[in-house]
Amino acid sequence: MQLRFVGCGDAFGSGGRANTCFHLGGAHTNLLIDCGASSLPGLKRLGIACNDVALILITHFHGDHFAGLPFLLLDAQFSKRTQPLVIAGPDGIAARLGQVMETLFEHSSTTPRKFELSVVALQPERTTRFGDVSVTPYPVVHGNSGGPFLGYRIAAEGRVIGYTADTEWTESLIPLGRDADLLIAEAYTYDKAVKNHLSLAALEARLDDIRPKRLVLTHMGEDMLARLGTLPHAAAHDGMTIDL
């Protein structure tokens, strides 16, 4: 399997980075984790066939993680997609998806499609299987608007990937990432406490409890990007590929 960082930036485009979108592909796996506003051009730039993606996991409803879906669905419609697509995320995802589609492309939510679209609400700490992929959501802490907020533990093809999503430190990150083959963790700041976001210092203070086999930092603000040459952990960049 391979994980590709289609976009790994924050909401402000710090460092010129694209909005959050990760592609996980393997022999029996083809999914996206988040789909920020810039995801469609990012996927096409990397040569990832959008119409082959079978599952999209959404962590929350902020535009840099969610607003790419109307563009992706419009592209699927005009490129004559035929295979089914599942979009899964927090409670309220069906209503939120309809709202954002109507805001960006009027009547797009009710236009008949030539492919089956399923929208699934996931419940925290309840594992759901999508074919050969198992997804366990965990509640995370990222404010009051744009939620509910979920991080994910994904098991596929004998590997486990954890993703904190955007969150301040919360104890749910321990089971989410424990002993994972890859933990993708927000590190918005280096050591400054910013409400609803995770600093590298807060993460490092509990890394011994999580014990990931591999750690990659994402969603970094200017404070972190200025330290890229000295960080003790791998840092994502747009287009980065990780073999699992």
Q: How sure is the predictor about 35, in pLDDT bands with cuts at 50, 70 and 90?
A: very high
pLDDT at 20: 98
pLDDT confidence of residue 198: 98
Could you tell me the pLDDT band of residue 8, with boundaries at 50, 70 and 90?
very high
Angle at 121 between CA 87 and CA 113, to 5 degrees: 35
Structural domains for the chain: 2-232 (3.60.15.10)
Q: Which region, left, alpha or beta, applies to residue 92 given φ > 0 means left and ψ of -120 to 50 means alpha?
A: left
Average the pLDDT over 75-103 and give the result: 97
Write out pLDDT tens, residues 107-147: 999 999 999 999 999 999 999 999 999 999 999 999 999 99
pTM of the model: 0.97
173-203 per-position pLDDT tens digit: 999 999 999 999 999 999 999 999 999 999 9
> Is the separation of the CB atoms in 223 and 235 below 8 Å?
no
